[in-house]
Chain A
Amino acid sequence: MDIELSAEDLAFRDEVRAFFEENKIKEGEDYFSWRLGWFKKAREKGGWDVPKWPAKFGGPGWTPTQHYIWEQETARATIPFDLPFGLGMLAPILMSYGSKEQQERFMPDIRDRKVNWCQGYSEPGAGSDLANLKTKAVLSDDGSYYTVNGSKIWTTLAHVADWIFCLTRTDDSGIKQQGITFLLFPMKQEGIEVKPIITLGGSHTVNTVHFTDVKVPVENRIGEEGKGWTYAKGLLEHERTGLAGLSKSLVEVEQLKENARSVQRGNGTLMDDSSYKSKVAELEIDLMATEYTELRSLANAAAGEELGPESSILKLKGTEIKQRIQKLTVEASGIYSSAWGDGGIGFPFAKGGTGGYLNSRYFTIYGGASEVQKDVIAKKVLGLTKGSKK
């Protein structure tokens, strides 16, 4: 056991830092042209614009340790925003199951951040039980196109998306997981209606999407008809057990402590308050442990082993930690935590703090509610299935 980074890893870290430092946004620079320019320069570094893509598809082909370093550094650096739907969700499916034509047609625009994608998975009757989905796709008699009818819900950023990757039902004669077909189609067309859902934090991120007789050419189908569940599931498991954004949480905890130190209490600050500081300490301890759970998981992956049982708890612990950070921000805001929008004079961090906390309740629901995650761990990791009595 050895926690020291190798000389190569340290050199890599310095290189990443230097790149971020050199390419920070300059004062007065237009954000969107800076953003595109940043990705262009990252691409010239050897696929840094698509860090998670394998080398075969133009990614950097990093080791797990390099990925870890990248994540740590990005959490602290000023880098342009990015959306996960095309880059992190659809692209891996295209790489594994898309035809060569589909890869060539869709991946360059994803890489150039030209086309925004959204994910059409959940439905009103299919939440944690995603395979229960009912959106119907019927193949035309000549076999050239599908007609899609149905509804999706919780579709993140559907209102700004150009395309959707969508799970549809083409056959309901067998078990639920069969008869699901994976289709891609443009969002800006007749028969698609997007309605906002306003969440508790007062923001519009998610939507309902209704399809009425939407025509989708058959060449926009990924893989075979009826196999969509298999294609989506690999990704879903990645989403459910995936990295927990811990580097970001570490930065947020530092910010949290700084905020608390700006709240004067008597001769000290809120960080001298025994109950508050204990809660921050407990949070930090959990975060320290989870960081190493993530590292163990990465090390296993590096050694080419299957993801170990420890990786299954990362989403659970990671989301819980994020929620606790939000809650402690609300508590630090004191009486000002109840001011909505721009109201109240309060502390700078109180603005939006409560909205952030309310929206963070979603973290333990999306991508499989925590209760479902625990079911999966009980079954797959602990072997607790019905009839497992010894």
Chain B
Amino acid sequence: MNFELSEEQKMIQQSVERFVQENYDLPKRVEISSKDPGYNKDYWGSMAELGWLGLPFNEEDGGFGGNQIDTLVIMEQFGKGLVLEPFLANVVLGGGAIQMGGSEELKREILPSLIEGTKQVTLAYAEQQSRFDLEDVTTSARQEGDKYIINGQKSMVLNAESADHLVVVTRTSGGQVDEEGITLFLVDSNTKGLEKQNFPTVDGLRASEITLENVEVNAERMIGDIDNGFEILKVVSNNGILALCAEAVGAMEILYKDTVEYTQQREQFDHPLSDFQVLQHRMVDMFMEYEQCKSLLFRATMETIQDPKMAQKTIHALKHLIGKSGIFVGENAVQLHGGMGVTEELRIGHFFKRLLVIDSQFGNADFHLDKFTDF
């Protein structure tokens, strides 16, 4: 048992930490978020140059052969600045699906340009009725010769606005909620019949509603085998959960530390707020939740690397705890900042919003508690 990062990982951690400190104070973030495309293209370029976008990809695909711990290291630091660049959508979700199920040709075509930061990919899985159920898919793909015709709708697709390609989850057979019969396709964004409706999300990021009307895609653009896409989707979703939870842990650290600092400065009733025991205990609770989340994050990540199937129960536990504790820490950071916490002027509220959104992605606290009890 060893919780030490490798020398390389420590270097990456320091370099991401420095990047966030230098480039992600609140005014800067608000400025980047409010302008198109919702992130900074120069930053994205630097991330590619520094090799961050290639970390978890295999060496033969142009990556560095890293694993979920490398992603954890990056995402935790990103969480401390609420970084806007679409790392999750590209590297973990879209890229992750291609790496896992794409043909050699597809990987050669997409992954190097993704790693260089010149092309972008995302994952379109959720639908209007699906809520958090990955297997609930109605968007259909019907074979016609060497092509497939896709019809349907995809919801809350992260970063679709900037994505050149979308990994679209479709149903090729079976019923609406069958795990069998799900197939993934790589669809170019500018394909005829694909429409995006883009909008900002609560946390200052971007998402889109996608409609697909008789969208033609070549059979060669299938990711993985026909009807067997669910397994890829499940693994990618688990990796997405690990990445999001690492980001959440970073955000929780900022929230509890900012709160401790603020209560030491703010005076009411002739004392700093930090003199009041009821507030001290609340901050201890926030700190404990943060540490517990971090422990479960390490556990779920390490177990996933060892044996992804065995780790499933821990992943449910993690996403439940992160959802619940993230909102506890966020709500109390706001409460202890008083009126100032409810404004856009302090970064507290922005971190809280991100934690709120993280709870709604890949299943909320209730959803994963329910799944946990199935084991």
- Residues of chain A having any CB pair with chain B under 8 Å: 122, 125, 127-129, 132, 153-154, 197-200, 206, 263-266, 273-276, 327, 330-331, 333-346, 354, 357-359, 361-362, 364-366, 369-371, 374-375
Least CB distance, B361 to chain A, in whole angstroms = 7
Q: Which residues from B are CB-within-8-Å of A327?
A: 327
Question: B249: CB under 8 A from chain A?
Answer: no
Least CB distance, A202 to chain B, in whole angstroms = 8
Closest-by-CB residue of B relative to A335 is: B156
Q: Which residues from A are CB-within-8-Å of B366?
A: 273, 275-276, 331
Partner of A199, one of B202, B268, B343: B343
Question: B155: CB under 8 A from chain A?
Answer: yes
- Sorted nearest first, the 10 A-B pairs with minimum C-beta distance are A343-B199, A129-B268, A275-B366, A338-B357, A334-B131, A200-B349, A338-B201, A198-B344, A340-B200, A337-B360
Q: Which residues from A are CB-within-8-Å of B268?
A: 127-129, 132
List, sorted by A's number, 27 A–B pairs whose CB atoms are closer than 8 Å: A129-B269, A132-B269, A154-B339, A197-B343, A265-B131, A275-B370, A331-B366, A333-B360, A335-B131, A335-B361, A338-B356, A339-B156, A339-B201, A340-B199, A341-B200, A343-B197, A343-B198, A344-B199, A345-B209, A346-B128, A354-B356, A357-B356, A358-B352, A361-B335, A362-B339, A365-B342, A369-B335
Q: Which residues from B are CB-within-8-Å of A264?
A: 129
Q: How far is the CA of A370 from the CA of B278 in the complex (A)?
A: 11
Q: Which residues from B are CB-within-8-Å of A336?
A: 155-156
Do B278 and A343 touch (CB < 8 A)?
no
Least CB distance, A127 to chain B, in whole angstroms = 5
Do A359 and B132 touch (CB < 8 A)?
no
Q: How far is the CA of A275 from the CA of B323 in the complex (A)?
A: 14
Closest-by-CB residue of B relative to A265 is: B131
Do B279 and A371 touch (CB < 8 A)?
yes
Q: How far is the CA of A351 from the CA of B256 in the complex (A)?
A: 30
Question: B92: CB under 8 A from chain A?
Answer: no
Q: How far is the CA of A206 from the CA of B345 in the complex (A)?
A: 13
Do B341 and A361 touch (CB < 8 A)?
yes
Q: Which residues from A are CB-within-8-Å of B132?
A: 334-335
Q: Which residues from A are CB-within-8-Å of B130?
A: 335
Interface string of B338-375 (1 = CB under 8 A from A): 11011111000100110011001100101001100000
Q: Which residues from A are CB-within-8-Å of B156?
A: 335-336, 338-339, 344
Q: Which residues from B are CB-within-8-Å of A127?
A: 268, 338-339
Do A338 and B360 touch (CB < 8 A)?
yes
Least CB distance, B337 to chain A, in whole angstroms = 9
Closest-by-CB residue of B relative to A127 is: B338
Counting contact residues on chain B (CB < 8 A from A), the size range is 35 or more
Do B343 and A337 touch (CB < 8 A)?
no
Q: How far is the CA of A334 from the CA of B132 in the complex (A)?
A: 7
Do A345 and B155 touch (CB < 8 A)?
yes
Interface string of B198-228 (1 = CB under 8 A from A): 1111110001010000000000000000000
Q: Given A275-B366, A340-B201, A341-B199, check contact A361 B342 (CB 8 Å).
A: yes
Q: Which residues from A are CB-within-8-Å of B364?
A: 331, 334
Q: Which residues from B are CB-within-8-Å of A263?
A: 131
Q: How far is the CA of A331 from the CA of B369 in the complex (A)?
A: 14
8 A Cβ contacts from B65-82 to A: none
8 A Cβ contacts from B87-145 to A: 126, 128-132
Partner of B278, one of A129, A265, A359, A374: A374
Q: Given A127-B338, A266-B177, A365-B342, check contact A343 B200 (CB 8 Å).
A: yes
Q: Given A198-B344, A343-B200, A354-B356, check contact A371 B177 (CB 8 Å).
A: no
Q: How far is the CA of A132 from the CA of B267 in the complex (A)?
A: 10
Do A338 and B199 touch (CB < 8 A)?
no
Q: How far is the CA of A251 from the CA of B257 in the complex (A)?
A: 39
